[in-house]
Amino acid sequence: MFLACTRAFSSEIRSFLDRLAANLYLSRMSIRPILTAPDPRLSAISEPVARVNDEIRELVDDMLDSMYAEDGIGLAAVQIGVPKRVLVMDLARKDGECQPQAFINPRLLWASDETTVVQEGCLSVPDIWDDVERPARITAEFLDRDGTLKTVDADGLLATCLQHEMDHLDGVLFIDYLSKLKRSMALRKVQKARRLKEAV
Ligand code: ZN
């Protein structure tokens, strides 16, 4: 729509308007740095949200901006240093769509005995991927961004992602499920990558 409306303008004005639109978009975005392991803040037990208000909705928006900026599909508030029980997720992005979801005060109600093994990664443990076994299906309740209590029956990627993100709220990372050797190798790799990045 915006492009169609500006078609009549000269290319100079169009490029000025494009820059203006991009700047307006960027100024609204709030990308916060994501903590990486073994930052002790990632081990915090997150506090429940007392009331879903504008402050929480702003946190949700910042989390989504931060998650999209790093090409992630899920993020817990504690990963940007806010120990509140808030998760965001977008599992549709791989298909080129956007379906942002917020899960506030999520609580596991049921987990299947049947398990599944999925290769997981985490924005707080960048470039490390490994198999984790978890219940294949779960039922959880949560508040959405309007503060409405909802229940979700999840399987597949949603079940894995929800369990991974809910672990963050209790200070648990997916590498905590790996052998001691694999976990310490992963931590060393993450720390080395961070030192290299900081040295640039
Ligand atoms: Zn994670």
Q: What is the CATH number of the domain that holds 104?
A: 3.90.45.10
Across the chain, what does the average pLDDT equal? Answer: 90
Helices (H) and strands (E) in the chain, counts: 5, 7
How many angstroms separate the alpha carbon of residue 73 from the centre of ligand 1? Answer: 9
Band (pLDDT 50/70/90 cuts) for residue 6 is very low
186 domain-assigned: yes
Q: Rounded to the nearest 10 degrees, how much is the dihedral formed by the CA atoms of 94, 95, 101, 105?
A: -40
Q: Reduced to 3 states, what is the DSSP secondary structure of residue 90?
A: coil
How far is residue 18 from each of residues 12, 13, 28, 29, 68, measured CA to CA in Å?
10, 9, 16, 17, 21
**pLDDT greater than 70 at residue 95:** no
Range of the domain at 118: 30-199
Number of domains in the chain: 1
**pLDDT greater than 60 at residue 27:** no
Band (pLDDT 50/70/90 cuts) for residue 3 is very low
Residue 25 confidence (pLDDT): 55
9 domain-assigned: no
What percent of the chain is modeled with pLDDT above 90?
A: 78
Over residues 35-53, mean pLDDT: 97
**Structure-token pair, residue 156:** 């597949």
182 domain-assigned: yes
The residue among 60, 63, 87, 76 whose CA lies nearest residue 125 is: 76
**pLDDT greater than 50 at residue 8:** no
How many angstroms separate the alpha carbon of residue 166 from the centre of ligand 1? Answer: 9
19 domain-assigned: no
Q: Which residues, in sequence order, are CB contacts of 145 under 8 Å at separation 6+? A: 52, 56, 57, 60, 102, 104
1 domain-assigned: no
18 domain-assigned: no
195 domain-assigned: yes
Band (pLDDT 50/70/90 cuts) for residue 7 is very low
How many angstroms separate the alpha carbon of residue 25 from the centre of ligand 1? Answer: 27
Active site residues: 165
How many angstroms separate the alpha carbon of residue 134 from the centre of ligand 1? Answer: 14
15 domain-assigned: no
How far is residue 70 from each of residues 74, 126, 167, 186, measured CA to CA in Å?
10, 10, 20, 19
Give per-residue pLDDT as tens, 130-164.
Answer: 999 999 999 999 999 999 999 999 999 999 999 99
The residue among 50, 51, 33, 55 whose CA lies nearest residue 42 is: 33
| Burial (Cβ within 10 Å: 0-12, 13-18, ≥19) of residue 64 | buried
